[in-house]
Amino acid sequence: MQRIEAYLEEEEVPDWACSLKASKTNDDTTLSIVENRIGFENGTTFEWDKSANSTQTEVTSSRFRLVDLDISFPVGKLSLVAGRTGSGKTALLSALLGELHCITGKVHIDKRDHHIAYCGQAPWLEHATIKENILYGCSYDQDRYEQVLDVCALERDLLILPAGDQTEIGEKGVTLSGGQRARIALARAVYSRAECLLLDDPLAAVDMHTANHIYDLCISGDLLKGRTVILVTHHIALCATNASYLVELSNGYISHQGTIEDLRAAGHLGHIAEEQSRPSVERSSSTAISTPVNEADGVDVKEKGTKTPKEPNGKLVHAEARREGRLFRAMLFRLCRAPIRFFDVTPLGRVLNRFVTDFGTIDGALNDSVRRTLAGILTFVSSFGVIVVLVPSFLPAALFIAYLYVRLAPAFILASRDLRRLELTSLSPTFASFDELLHGLAHVRAFAMEARYQDQFYKKVDRFQSYDHVYWLLAIWMRWRYDCLGSVVVFCATLFTLWAGVESGYAAVIIVQAGVFAEASRQLIKVTAQLELDFNSVDRVAEYLDVPEEAPLIIPDRRPPAYWPSNTGGLSVENLVMRYADDLPPVLKDLSFDIKPSEKIAVVGRTGSGRLRGLAILGCGIDRSPIGKSTLALSLLRMIEPVGGRIVLDGLDIGTMGLEDLRTRIQTIVSQDVSLFSGSIRSNLDPFDEHDDQECWDVLKRCHLVGGSEGNGRITSLDTQISQRGSLSAGERQLVALARAVLRRSQVVIMDEATSAIDLQLDEMVQRTIREELSEALVITIAHRLRTIIDYDRVMVLGSEGRILEFDEPGKLLANPEGVFTEMCRQSADWEELKATVTSKSR
């Protein structure tokens, strides 16, 4: 109760931010609903709540804030929000949505009647079909729906998907590429009837061709004409053509704001576009990003210092409760060894239900049921024996009554067992729905859909409770019948006692034992049935003990030598064929190429076709069909085992060695969706304590997470605490992952859209860091920003059929005017600069 009370006393968002509490007569002093006005006034200041972080740490005065905001976005027009990575752009949108704590000033926005639509930087999607995600509770208008698919560049993706827009995507959209998730989330906002759209950098996750398509036909198109659009973006040069207003943020403050014409006349617009798109030549890479953003998205900062954590960070999975339970450890180990496809087709709620409900039953109720069953057998036998010894003539009647007890038992056991299974099955969607809601709560509140999710959750809870209610009605049905039989037992025992002339003292014992016999019979049947029900949890857990495993971690006779892989060894892919399931077509077909030692390779292709994770619903599973770029990265890590062909690294076939040797000794992957752990920066950089503090701090400097002098950057110490979700901006999270890769010094580094969420200037600085820090490593970069990879050694262009279309040096590819890569570059806004870069490199 104390934990529940503490939770209920947590700080909440203001009433106007939640449609369940908002009223038409607003009495919140932080909100002013004024017609045709959106923005902030009176020097509004916001900060992230302490409760927003999962870690409880001391917070200093350097908590990140949005300070002195006075902005009035033009209604019915397009406004841009620009700024460096971590400057507070996402926080600005969160402030408009009421997700940040307002210290001073007022917010002008109308969230009534579904006035707002929101597309977050980390797109959130429901576990539903693509069509249901786009409609999101709105009525279906075929013409409008088809127009939205066209302007959001989704039509080609839907043609590849076997079920089209009826394809069901996985939880949180895990079975889609980052670009597809971003475009579906954008389509949801565009399809809505909201008058104001808050779009948090939807162009960052797509290639330049797709970005031009979306901007020209969607953001500047008819569907958004007359609607207020506030767009966070790094593509200022592209988006400023039709924008009316621009706000540039720096470290939580407004550095420039005004209409596009005013900023252009004052010379600020060119400067802002230059800052967003070009690297700084006047500042060194070590000091270019040194403005102190200690908590750009809610980072809790402890006192300055670089102390080594007191507790070891090696245990990434720590099961404190039941750590001695062999069954629990066996299931946990099995799930940790399960292939990634298992988690694609298995809802998270089902896994949580096994760990929470089923293990709760095994640890508690099952032990109690066994104890009560043994006690019931002993009581039944002893009472039956006493009665038979004192009144032998009662034996036939006792056997007949026992037969009646047993006769009634099967009906109860069968019905209660099925009800219990239905009850446990109905609980899994409840867990999954709650987890899904937690991840997308900001989106739900932005769309004012709380009532919808509340009703859905209530329905799932009601379904669960209905099975529980029927189970107890069934128990009452059985108890009433057994009580009647108990009365018959006592009556018959008394009658036989009087007929046999038993002494009064023994007669009292017989009558008492008859009551005990009746109750013991009822309890024995009940606890036996409960024991069978509890063993359902054991069966459900045992199912997960048969989950397919990945290849062995260690193969003793196939371990690579200690020096493997060396920096003189290359990578060779020979006739590689990949598929996600036996009944699906190949994703990569006869792929063959060679990469030289220490070579830097870029892999490009259209968003959604080169990296498409197509789905087909077969039963309850989610299957993937043709992708390309990300599949290639997964194959190098053996997350997916090849159907044919092989991958040879430094002379050894990676398919013949253990996964631990492969993944820990040679390869590091930095993905678009970065996974961080709640804890300190140091524990995220070096979870196994393999490096000292100075090495960790130096790598933060080289990856532009801190300034040139210790304590002057966006992180003050290695003890700076971050949370699993929400503490850092998406760009900062990617920089932490990059720092982790640089610290490991792996010989093979795979970067899967690893810089998509950071600004263009910082992206080029990061690419320079990669070339310098990983000069001896073989680097494979999957990217859609062509200007950041144009000076790579070679570029691989993958097509939608899983085949290599082109693979050569950038200069040679551009020399072919009819080439695919040339066409991609020509459609980019940086076409002239790309040509100049290739020309200068060839010299």
Same structural domain, 237 and 356: no
526 and 580 assigned to the same domain: no
Whether residue 339 lies inside any domain: the answer is no
Domain end position, chosen among 544, 560, 589: 544
CATH value at residue 416: 1.20.1560.10
Strands laid side by side in the 31-32 sheet: 31-32, 101-108, 38-47, 65-73
Both 513 and 610 in one domain: the answer is no
Which has the closest alpha carbon to 323: 281, 266, 363?
363
Q: Domain limits at 36?
A: 6-243+255-270
**Within this chain, do residues 444 and 589 fall inside the same structural domain, yes or no?**
no
pLDDT of residue 296: 35
Q: Is 690 domain-assigned? A: no
Q: Decide which of 544, 578, 612 is a domain's last residue.
A: 544
Strand partners, 648: 572, 653
Beta strands in 688-829 (DSSP E): 721-722, 748-752, 778-782, 794-798, 804-808
In whole angstroms, how far apart are CA 724 and each of 47, 298, 577, 685?
19, 12, 36, 14
Q: Could you tell me the two tokens for 709?
A: 């002098």
Cα 418 from chain centre: 33
* Count of domains observed in the chain: 3
53 and 88 housed in the same domain: yes
Q: Which of 544, 577, 607 is the last residue of a domain?
A: 544
- Check which CATH number belongs to the domain holding 185 and give it: 3.40.50.300
Residues 138 and 69 both lie in one domain: yes
| Residue 684 burial (CB count, 10 A) | 23
Question: What is the predicted pLDDT for the residue at 623?
Answer: 33
Are 650 and 798 in the same domain? yes
What is the rounded CA–CA span in Å between residue 373 and residue 527?
6
| CA distance to 218, 243, 333, 758, per residue, from 215 (Å) | 5, 11, 47, 19
Bond prior to 565 in cis (omega within 30° of 0): yes
User: Which residues pair with residue 230 across a beta bridge?
Assistant: 79, 198
> What local confidence, expressed as pLDDT, does residue 186 receive?
94
Which residues have C-beta within 8 Å of that of residue 266, sequence separation ≥ 6? 258
Q: What is the DSSP string of 608-621?
A: TTTS--EEEEETTE
Spatial separation of the C-alpha atoms in residues 731 and 737, rounded to whole Å: 10
Dump strand ranges (E) for 569-666.
Answer: 571-578, 588-595, 600-604, 614-618, 621-625, 644-649, 652-653
Same domain, 398 and 508: yes
45 token code pair:
């200041």
Please give the C-alpha separations between residue 195 and each of 41, 115, 198, 676, in angstroms, as whole numbers. Answer: 21, 5, 10, 36
Statement to judge: residues 590 and 492 lie in one domain: no
Q: What are phi and psi of 129, to 5 degrees?
A: -75, 165
Does residue 553 fall inside a structural domain? no
Distances (CA, A) of 679 to 133, 173, 311, 394: 34, 26, 11, 71
- Is residue 611 assigned to a domain? yes
Task: Give the span between the Cα atoms of 12 and 691, in whole angstroms.
Answer: 41
Could you tell me if 366 and 487 lie in one domain?
yes
Residues in the chain: 843
Q: What is residue 273's predicted lDDT score, i.e. its pLDDT?
A: 65
Q: Packing angle between helix 693-702 and helix 730-744, nearest 10 degrees?
A: 130
- Residue 564 domain flag: no
User: Does 116 reside within a domain?
Assistant: yes
pLDDT of residue 183: 92
Q: What is the mean pLDDT of each run of 10 residues along the chain (843 residues)?
A: 83 77 56 70 78 39 75 92 86 88 86 82 87 92 93 86 79 66 92 92 82 90 92 86 90 88 78 56 33 36 38 42 66 88 78 83 83 87 85 82 79 83 82 82 88 88 89 86 84 83 83 84 81 83 88 89 84 86 76 89 66 30 43 81 88 89 78 79 87 88 69 66 68 83 84 76 78 84 82 85 84 88 82 81 68
Residue with tokens 């809790």: 300
726 within domain boundaries: no
- Asked if the structure places residue 226 within a domain, the reply is yes
Q: Which two tokens stand for residue 759?
A: 């600004």
For the record, the structure tokens of 160 come out as 């590849």
Q: Which residues contact 121 (CB under 8 A, 6 or more apart)?
A: 90, 200, 201, 204, 232, 729, 730, 757
pTM, two decimal places: 0.70
Q: Distance between CA 725 and CA 55 in Å, rounded?
A: 11
Amino acid identity, position 161? L
* Tokens linked to 16: 């106007």
Question: For the chain, how far is it from start to end, CA to CA, in angstroms?
Answer: 73
Judge if 494 and 617 occupy the same domain: no
485 and 577 assigned to the same domain: no
